[in-house]
Structure 1
Amino acid sequence: MSYGLFLSITSHGIVVYGLLLTVLSSEIDLNGYLLYCPCMGRFGNQGDHFLGSLAFAHGLNRTLALPPWVVYPSKPVATSSHVPFKDWFQVSSLQKYHRVMPMEYFMDKLAPEVWPPGKRKGFCYGEPGNDCPMKRGNPFGPFWDRFGVDFDDSVTYTRLSFSTHHNWVRDEWNRKFPPKDYPVLAFMGAPAAFPVAEENKWLQKYLKWSPAIIKRVQEFINRELPSGAWIGIHLRNGIDWVRACEHADGITNMMASPQCLGYQPAVKLTRSLCLPSKQDVLKEVKKLVKSIKAKGVFVATDSDPMLKELREHLKALKMKVSVVTSFGGHDWSPQLDLAILGQADHFIGNCVSSFTAFVVREREAAGKPSSFFAFPKIKVGAKVEL
């Protein structure tokens, strides 16, 4: 929609332009839109935040613009990069729950009319009168720069919850920021809790992998894993995790630990739950392989897959068990690992990891069993005693 086009066409063409304007206007959601920067943490955290943001948009009855995923390189560089939402997940599946659209589409097709330059306000938590540092630092600046967004003003909010499961929360947001005055709520960070609120976990059922990811998963499974039952495991054992787990003993809540301890834990976290020993890993994998007569083990990790140790330990079963990983391969990505783990006959993960939590939620939605190293509690599906 441009004035240049309007002035350059004939009188017959002006009718066509007027028709295009009408079609665009009819597409606009008068209930408003919700945008946010997925700028807090890596993919596991972004996944938790996405489910909460989806629930929040649904509660306010605003269309959610699906942001690209923020990707951080393995080695420090100047900036982050971005992957369009639809490259990894199906938009059509989410539309069965609520109105969503790729942020690229919103910015290209709708923003010129509903959120034009000069009227772009950023929202953040803070006291009235304070500014929102919407673009300060990486990944915030690069995220909005990707869409050519500069903010003309900011709006702060306090004492407002994101839990729109309570009607009064929804009503308060709509009273303070009605769509007619605020057609777009653009948040500095995700309007959601971390870890994901218990009441929003079920929304994972709408988050379906894209055809491209599914194709890669099937190719890997067919190429690397034998026919028959196989298990997937997630090993979080990099130096960053080792250091984080030094502080795990005796606390009741750490990162994604509610997935195994519960949201109102009666027991405290231990270092072994956060960082299972190699002995724990070998023992539990061996016991599970024997129990379900698994022919293969897939290891997802970003550090040490323990391939040698696992292969040696499983030899005692006197049955051929393949132990494989995608880590280090030319096609490796965390998303590939996540999608592969979702297909396993049984999954063992890390109680504290949000990466594990993403897999567990997907498997819960599909009725598949999962458990945690050093915490042998089966979540769903067939019972397997470890």
Structure 2
Amino acid sequence: MDVSGPANDNKSTFLLPFDTGRFGNQAEHYVGALAFAKTIDRTLVLPPFRTYTNVPLSDWFQIEPFTHFHKVITMEDFMKHFGDTKWPVGERRGYCWLPQNSPNECQMKNGNPFGPFWDGFHIDFDEYIKFGITNQADITNADRMVWLKSEWDQKYPASEHPVIAFRGAPATFPMAAGNRQIQKYFKWNQQLFAKAEDEMARLFRGDKKFVGIHLRTGQDWISTCKHAVDSPSFMASSQCLSRGEKVFQEMCYPTVEDVVKQTTKAVQKYAVGHLYIATDKLSYLQELSEALEPLQVKVHHLDPHLPQMDLMILGQADFFIGNCVSSFTSFVKRERDINGKPSTFWGFPV
């Protein structure tokens, strides 16, 4: 990408690792980081996603669309072209959110994934700074954006803090609802998306109409839902709950009977010939196949090595049913909303 612009201005540049979590959580933090960088008008260094290693953002998404939202540069390009000049060894400071009088130390590299993340770029820190002001932005709240920029300009001016390396992403989880529109700048890597199109062509054999569903059925999700039920807000549940509403069992962990019933309604309503299942554990493939056989609907469960394949395929479905509490579902729902595609959640009307 062109590195002549954003990193050569006189604004501060951010380096930010993601917070711990799976892809969906990291993606929500990415959205929040973009909102924060735009709010205080400083170039955003786009970090890699973290799996068991650092995955460059460009492996999964196109970089150019982000430039239509704000000034960005990938972390790989920043370190290659500007790491020695704008952030030289001996002047690398790490920034941790901690109360100023907190006895806790700013530990930028303590634990996994933080240590391996920075080590992937051969980065050590020479100084640590605790900050207590908020770094969470909502681009639909203009007054707060003005206030937030003023706070950061006053306490951490670009002239004295040219590079701010956060220990965690400057974002909330769950994400601020006003930032959901930033999803439109997440465009899949074209080569990766072509592989998803090949898979769809192979599975659906020219009949492109299908319903996609996302199931969370792992043992960890059973425990999650025990804590979530009757909570007014839990993980990504704000994407389907209004103020005062609470998480209920069917939306978090529907029974196989619930899944079959709601899915059957969806395939009948949208008159599709295929069902695509994405799941972290149990697929209910047999139960759904038996229930949908009289409707001549073919059921598919790819179980790809790369979860992003599921995300891309679910984004193309004629109708989508997801898990409201899941940030994986949230990514699919945001993309579909941007593209005007219909969706719902388990426990909600089709």
Q: Same fold (TM over 0.5)?
A: yes
SS at match of 2:168: coil
Match of 1:116 in 2: 88
Does 2:350 correspond to 1:374? no
Letter in 2 for 1:250: D
CA distance in 2, matches of 1:92, 1:269: 38
Match of 1:335 in 2: 308
Which aligned pairs between 1:148-163 and structure 2 lie closer than 5 A? 148-163=122-137
Greater displacement, 365-374 / 124-133: 124-133
**Retained in 2: the 8 A contact 1:305–1:325?**
yes
Structure-2 change in CA distance of 1:172 and 1:103 (3 Å)? same
Match of 1:197 in 2: 176
Match of 1:31 in 2: 11
Match of 2:160 in 1: 181
SS at match of 2:316: coil
CA displacement, residues 214-241 of structure 1 (integer Å, 9 cap, x when unaligned): 1111001000024142110001101111
SS at match of 1:254: coil
**Retained in 2: the 8 A contact 1:195–1:255?**
yes
Match of 2:227 in 1: 247
CA distance in 2, matches of 1:38, 1:362: 21
SS at match of 1:266: coil
Match of 2:218 in 1: 238
CA distance in 1, matches of 2:179, 2:320: 22
CA distance in 2, matches of 1:46, 1:27: 24
**Retained in 2: the 8 A contact 1:272–1:374?**
yes
Match of 2:293 in 1: 315
CA distance in 1, matches of 2:4, 2:282: 52
Match of 1:67 in 2: 47
Which aligned pairs between 1:274-285 and structure 2 lie closer than 5 A? 274-285=252-263
Match of 2:301 in 1: 325
**Retained in 1: the 8 A contact 2:18–2:169?**
yes
Match of 1:20 in 2: none
Match of 2:22 in 1: 42
Letter in 2 for 1:110: F
Of 59, 69, 75, which aligns to 1:103?
Answer: 75
**Retained in 1: the 8 A contact 2:19–2:29?**
no
CA distance in 2, matches of 1:260, 1:173: 33
CA distance in 2, matches of 1:340, 1:209: 12
Uncovered stretches (5+) of structure 1, i.e. residues with no partner: 1-22, 72-79, 377-385
Q: TM-score, normalised by structure 1?
A: 0.85
Match of 1:5 in 2: none
Does 2:53 correspond to 1:53? no
SS at match of 1:95: helix
CA displacement, residues 77-131 of structure 1 (integer Å, 9 cap, x when unaligned): xxx3121000000000111111111101101111110110100111111122653
**Retained in 2: the 8 A contact 1:294–1:321?**
yes
Match of 1:359 in 2: 332
CA displacement, residues 177-229 of structure 1 (integer Å, 9 cap, x when unaligned): 11110001100000000111011110000000001221111001000024142
Match of 1:91 in 2: 63
**CA positional deviation for 1:26:** 9.6
Higher-RCO chain (CA-CA 8 Å, sequence separation at least 6): 2
Letter in 2 for 1:333: L
CA distance in 1, matches of 2:80, 2:218: 40
Which aligned pairs between 1:205-220 and structure 2 lie closer than 5 A? 205-220=184-199
Structure-2 change in CA distance of 1:272 and 1:203 (3 Å)? same
Match of 1:4 in 2: none
**Retained in 2: the 8 A contact 1:131–1:155?**
no
**Retained in 2: the 8 A contact 1:39–1:70?**
no
Letter in 2 for 1:210: N
CA displacement, residues 284-324 of structure 1 (integer Å, 9 cap, x when unaligned): 1101111111110110112111111101011233xx21110
CA displacement, residues 161-183 of structure 1 (integer Å, 9 cap, x when unaligned): 42264111111011111111000
**CA positional deviation for 1:25:** 10
Structure-2 change in CA distance of 1:161 and 1:145 (3 Å)? closer
RMSD (CA atoms): 1.6
Match of 1:19 in 2: none
Of 240, 255, 268, which aligns to 1:260?
Answer: 240
Identity of aligned residues (%): 43
Uncovered stretches (5+) of structure 2, i.e. residues with no partner: none
Point out the structure with max Rg over C-alpha: 1
Structure-2 change in CA distance of 1:172 and 1:26 (3 Å)? closer
Q: TM-score, normalised by structure 2?
A: 0.94
